[in-house]
Chain A
């Protein structure tokens, strides 16, 4: 008689979660600050990232989000008997590229292993992963903290495959059935495990932000959290400040934004401190973050669930990185965000904050640089982005990449301003028009061609008018307070409805006042 199979609880959480949930503050609000201050948190993060390959990790099925359910499947990713995996070369390249970008030491020979557990979205009954010989180890990322730059260690980066997707709700028989879509099954992943070097929720947030930025620059993933291409679990424990030994940790899962991770960690740290302060003991367990309620819940998974009985994958040979492949990867390495910001600050004389905004994505930085190199004054291009563009984007909830005005358009505007062909008021109006019509700056400028008064006599006439109306300020100026000139420039600009040529106006005001 054959032994009978029966379902076991899922040791891994890959639960669907609503993509957009309002952020609620996550505090238990019962632990006084002086008690919280006695403790320190120890946090480690595990990040799973889907690689942007055309095909899956071990078969030729398309690696594509949003395809009709169960259409990107084949005998290999369905786990049909006799099907054999063959590793995707691009996935190896990307995983190696990410490893190098994260300052890891890459192993010449790494080993794939089977991680065994039962769940309906894992048809083989095991996940192909890496265990004791991962692709890369001993990396680090630098993150900004209030006390200066801090280096967060990366324990390891290994390759593995994703599982399929279980749908628990939304079908007529959802009360008794779970629906399974295996399109995602076999998608290439890298798992990046940090050292327990992180001490605060803010540091965790910064680590994730920097990690995502680096991965985006390398182009190995789109890091889209809503589509699940980047997922994060956090291990957190607390201990009295100065204590050597780590406390008992809990694992927080199901968190789908960096802000939620920060909130979940804040909640979890307070929860653990509260338990210890009241004489209790923290239980090692997995906890699910509920963003609606702003708290974590125990998953009550069984202890044995973590016994994955890893063993070397007999169907895959060791992954040997040849010199040729490594050379290919090194060629793909872009200038990374931190280095790029440093160079841009020096090259264009922009501020740290400018550089931060302009390197939000690699493509944005590319666009800025090509526009700035062609512009008369790169600093002015950066200034316009900060002063005119970001506020308008924020007001409309747009990302920099969705801006109607391109970097080229901004450089065009900056040049006009540099040449004194546009007053700042006219510039603002044109920016407004561009946002209203959704057109780029040059198009709006050509259409509206704001009139400019460039006739010196006309400007002089207005200056005379303002001088006559403001004798007190004239006196101040002539008494040596030269800065009052700006007042006259402003008044004349107002009188001209923003149309006076700024360069000419400046010159004439000084001349008139001095004369």
Chain B
């Protein structure tokens, strides 16, 4: 399996990236190299191996209880501190360039 330049452009758009022609070419090479590596691993027969979403599934085998947080309120951040890092704000809201879709 390999990807085309079209695929690279599509994925870049989904990832909100604008690539130069040079970057597109590099990305194409890198992605195909990665896919080739994965294709190699795919040659292994894993039909009897349970899919693993997370390494903790293996590490935590036997002690399966998920750590959950009790439903108790903790202090939130002070708004002034939050807005201090916002690119644009009226002190109350984050402001972003107009979202056109309506």
Contacts and interface: CB of A to CB of B under 8 A. Distances in A.
B46 interface: no
Contacts, number: 155
Contacts of A61: 73-74, 76
A75 interface: yes
A182 B73 contact: no
Contact of A320 (B65, B96, B100, B101): B65
Interface string A165-183: 0111001011111111110
Contact of B93 (A74, A89, A111, A180): A180
A4 B19 CA distance: 8
Interface string B35-56: 0000000000000000001101
Given A3-B17, A312-B54, A15 B102 contact: yes
A294 interface: no
A70 B14 contact: no
Interface residues of B, number: 45
Interface stretch (A6-14, A352-360, A394-402): A6-14
Interface stretch (A52-60, A203-211, A338-346, A493-501): A52-60
Q: Taking each of A3, A125, A166, A319, which has the highest tally of chain B beta carbons within 10 Å of its own beta carbon?
A: A3
Contacts of A91: 71
A118 to B, nearest CB: 5
A-B pairs with lowest CB-CB distance, top 8: A60-B74, A90-B71, A89-B68, A312-B53, A179-B93, A180-B94, A3-B17, A120-B96
Interface of A: 1, 3-10, 15, 53-55, 59-62, 68-75, 78, 86-92, 109, 111, 116, 118-120, 125, 133, 166-168, 171, 173-182, 299, 301, 304, 307, 309, 312, 314, 317-320, 322
Given A60-B73, A62-B73, A167-B93, A10 B99 contact: yes
Contacts of A319: 66
Interface string B1-37: 0000000001011101111100100000000000000
Nearest to B18: A4
Main SS of chain B's interface residues? loop
A113 to B, nearest CB: 8
A318 B57 CA distance: 7
A167 B72 CA distance: 29
B97 A178 contact: yes
A181 B73 contact: no
Contacts of A133: 53
A176 B69 contact: no
B95 A179 contact: yes
Nearest to A123: B94
B97 A318 contact: no
Contact of B99 (A86, A90, A120, A317): A120
B53 A318 contact: yes
Contact of A7 (B20, B94, B99, B102): B99
Contact of B82 (A53, A73, A90, A167): A73
Contact of B16 (A6, A89, A307): A6
A299 B77 CA distance: 36
Contacts of B67: 86, 317
A68 B80 CA distance: 13
Contacts of A5: 16-18
A271 to B, nearest CB: 21
A71 B57 CA distance: 36
Given A111-B53, A317-B60, A318-B56, 17 more contacts: A3-B17, A5-B17, A9-B101, A10-B101, A55-B73, A71-B79, A74-B74, A78-B82, A87-B66, A91-B71, A116-B14, A177-B96, A178-B99, A179-B90, A307-B14, A312-B53, A320-B64
A466 B72 CA distance: 73
Contacts of B95: 173, 177-180
Contacts of B92: 68-70
A181 B93 CA distance: 6
A75 B82 CA distance: 9
A177 B93 CA distance: 11
A72 B76 contact: yes
22 contacts: A7-B97, A60-B69, A62-B73, A68-B79, A71-B76, A73-B79, A74-B74, A75-B77, A78-B82, A89-B68, A89-B70, A90-B70, A92-B68, A120-B94, A125-B16, A175-B98, A177-B88, A178-B99, A181-B94, A307-B14, A318-B56, A320-B65
Q: Taking each of B13, B18, B98, which has the highest tally of chain A beta carbons within 10 Å of its own beta carbon?
A: B98
Nearest to B17: A3
B73 A176 contact: no
Q: Taking each of B14, B93, B98, which has the highest tally of chain A beta carbons within 10 Å of its own beta carbon?
A: B93
Contacts of B14: 116, 304, 307, 309
A118 B101 contact: no
Contacts of B18: 3-6
Contacts of B96: 7, 120, 177-178, 180
B27 to A, nearest CB: 10
Given A10-B101, A317-B60, A319-B66, A69 B93 contact: yes
A135 to B, nearest CB: 12
Contacts of B97: 7, 176-178
Q: Taking each of B57, B71, B90, B100, which has the highest tally of chain A beta carbons within 10 Å of its own beta carbon?
A: B71
A90 B69 CA distance: 8
B76 A62 contact: yes
A488 B60 CA distance: 85
A429 B67 CA distance: 61
Nearest to A80: B85
A87 B13 contact: no
B70 to A, nearest CB: 6
